[in-house]
Every structure is written in C-alpha cells, then in structure tokens.
C-alpha cells in the first residue's frame, strides 16, 4: 500500500557545509523529486553539538526559507523549531512576511529551546524552564491573533505593548507544531498546537510518546494532532559505509544524557549499542531507509524530515538516493 507520509529535508544551513547555494539548489532538486517540505533549524547563539563538529556557521533559517520560496513554489517551508526568544510581534511579522512568498505554505515549529543563554542574549530577564515554556505558549497565542488581523494590546511579566496590528496577514492558516521529545512537550502540543515534532528520537520512545499524545488530545477534547520526526539519516550502497559517516558513538551517548531521562531505556538500562537508537538514526542502503521509514509510519508518524547533517559533504548524492530510490519505493 502506498505511503501516506509527507516527506521533508533539513537544509544544510549550519556547520561546516552550511551554504545558501546548497540550500537553494538542494531545494530545487527536492521539489523535482516530489518532496513535500524543506526545513531549517533556529538558533540565536549557535553552539554545535559535540557530535557534529565545532564549526559554528549558522545562516539565519528564515532568510534561507525566503530564498527558497522565490524559486520553489510547491514546497511547504518548515521551521524545526523556532526558539521563542523572539518578541512575538517580530515572530508574527516575520512568518506573515514569509507567507507572502509561498502562499502561506508554512509549518511553524515552535519550542522553548535547550539553552537559557540564548534567551539571555536576546534580552530576556526570566529564563527558567517554566519561563521559557510560558513564553513559547504566549508566542503561539499572539501569533495566531496577529495573523487573524487583530489589533492587540498586551501586558504580562514578559511583554508590554499597545494597539499593534500587523499587515499583511497569511492567506491561510499557518499550523504550529510543538518541538520537543518529552511528555511535557506532548502536553503542550495537545494544549495549544496543531502538531508535535520531537526531532531525533528512538522509535521505542516515539511509540510511547505518540500513545501519550493521543491520551492528552482526548483529555483536551480535540482530534489527534499531526506528528513529525527528524531522524539522522545516512544512505549508501553499503550499510557499513553509511554508518561509518555518522558519529554513532555520539548519538548513542546522547541517550544517556540527563535531558533524555524520559526516553525508553533499553533492556540493559543504558544506551550502549546501535540497536538502542533505532529510529533516532536511520542509516544503510536505500532499502534500509525504506524499511525504517515504514516502521516510523506504522508507529503513527505523519511527516518525516530526513536529517542528513553527517552527509552534507555528499548532499546532492544523498538527495539522489532519496529522490530516485527511497521515495519511489515508499510511494509505489
């Protein structure tokens, strides 16, 4: 049976191979191959994870999407995810402006971010986890009101402004997906978002979280929200070659970090081998990628975004593997 999945790509706008040209030309190829979306990350103060090198190149994601929008008219543009350090007026205005370039074919991933210092750098005085969670919800709520054409006066512990109205407004609804892989992230997605995007996450944890998300949506009296995921991906004619291009040890160790305490632990109690991060990493031949993508869909995934960050040196070759072999096999 043909897949119902939507397919996306994380664009190479960061680290050693971050390049506007690669993003634009890669998006053209993606559109030609029938991908549904392209995505960017978001950071104010970019600090690469140790597993992805030390180059802190980071081209502003919304500028990349704007450039892509001028040459690709079929792709949905996604942010995975916008960190809520921006003022809500700025965020609403930026996304509404981007919408004029792409007929509002946008998905705004939104989250509270990993690093409090990014909020501090943006001038926020309150940067605890709860503060950042509050700010994310406020941003989502105010964006929707601005996009609906409201003139807004607002005051709380974080923002204070009067009689602000933004034009233009999006021509259609911009869905907001909550970015994060914890139970709290599922609750936030069910509370005020249209989707849930956990990023890279093992399939076992994804399975558990999807069930929890379904429960939270039922408690909120609403339909199940859309689900996304951004697995690390590496493709080659030989599986061992595909794996050799990835920092497998770094990805395995990530599972043992305190921030991943809600992940489903392997039987040993510690992440220690490749099988423990199944789904977080999908690597191998095109047939392997097809198999692992199907497993994700069976677990309840609606929109997969392939993260090729370890293969950006081979960006165009990786796109060809996906476009010529993986997507056709999944859609057959």
Map out the domains of the chain as residue ranges: 6-331
Residue 288 in contact with residue 215, Cβ under 8 Å? no
d(CA 98, CA 30): 20
pLDDT for 2 equals: 81
Q: What is the pLDDT along the chain (332 residues), one digit of tens a residue?
A: 788 999 999 999 999 999 999 999 999 999 999 999 999 999 888 877 767 778 899 999 999 999 999 999 999 999 999 999 999 999 999 999 999 999 999 999 999 987 788 888 888 888 899 999 999 999 999 999 999 999 999 999 999 999 999 999 999 999 999 999 999 999 999 999 999 999 899 999 999 999 999 999 999 999 999 999 999 999 999 999 999 999 999 999 999 999 899 999 999 999 999 999 999 999 999 999 999 999 999 999 999 999 999 999 999 999 999 999 999 999 99
d(CA 288, CA 235): 9
Considering the domain 6-331, what is its CATH architecture?
Alpha-Beta Barrel (3.20)
Containing H/E element for 319?
A: helix 315-321
pLDDT for 124 equals: 86
Cα angle at 150 between 146 and 151, to 5 degrees? 105
d(CA 225, CA 185): 13
Cα angle at 172 between 185 and 80, to 5 degrees? 35
Question: Which residues are registered as beta bridge partners of 307?
Answer: 232
d(CA 298, CA 24): 32
Residue 140 in contact with residue 114, Cβ under 8 Å? no
């Amino acid at each position: 049976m043909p897949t119902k999945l939507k397919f996306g790509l994380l664009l190479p706008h960061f680290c050693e191979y971050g390049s506007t040209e690669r993003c634009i030309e890669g998006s053209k190829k993606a559109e030609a191959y029938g991908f549904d979306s392209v995505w960017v990350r978001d950071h104010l103060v970019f600090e690469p994870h140790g597993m992805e090198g030390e180059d802190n190149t980071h081209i502003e994601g919304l500028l990349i999407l704007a450039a892509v929008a001028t040459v690709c008219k079929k792709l949905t543009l996604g942010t995975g995810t916008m960190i809520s350090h921006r003022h809500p007026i700025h965020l609403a205005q930026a996304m509404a402006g981007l919408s004029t370039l792409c007929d509002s074919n946008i998905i705004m991933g939104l989250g509270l971010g990993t690093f409090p210092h990014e909020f501090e750098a943006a001038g926020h005085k309150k940067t605890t986890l709860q503060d950042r969670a509050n700010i994310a919800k406020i941003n989502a709520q105010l964006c929707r009101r601005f996009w609906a054409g409201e003139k807004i006066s607002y005051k709380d512990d974080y923002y204070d402004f009067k009689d602000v109205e933004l034009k233009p407004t999006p021509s259609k609804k911009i869905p907001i997906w909550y970015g994060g892989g914890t139970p709290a992230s599922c609750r936030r997605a069910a509370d005020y978002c249209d989707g849930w995007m956990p990023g890279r996450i093992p399939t076992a944890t994804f399975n558990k979280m999807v069930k929890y998300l379904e429960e939270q949506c039922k408690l909120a009296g609403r339909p199940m929200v859309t689900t996304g995921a951004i697995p690390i991906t590496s493709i080659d004619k030989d599986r061992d070659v595909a794996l050799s291009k990835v920092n497998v040890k770094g990805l395995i160790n990530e599972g043992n970090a305190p921030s991943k305490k809600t992940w489903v632990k392997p039987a040993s109690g510690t992440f220690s081998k490749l099988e423990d991060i199944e789904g977080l990493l999908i690597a191998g031949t095109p047939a392997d990628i097809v198999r692992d993508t199907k497993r994700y869909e069976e677990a309840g995934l609606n929109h997969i975004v392939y993260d090729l960050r370890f293969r950006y040196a081979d960006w165009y070759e990786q796109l060809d593997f996906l476009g010529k072999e993986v997507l056709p096999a999944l859609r057959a």
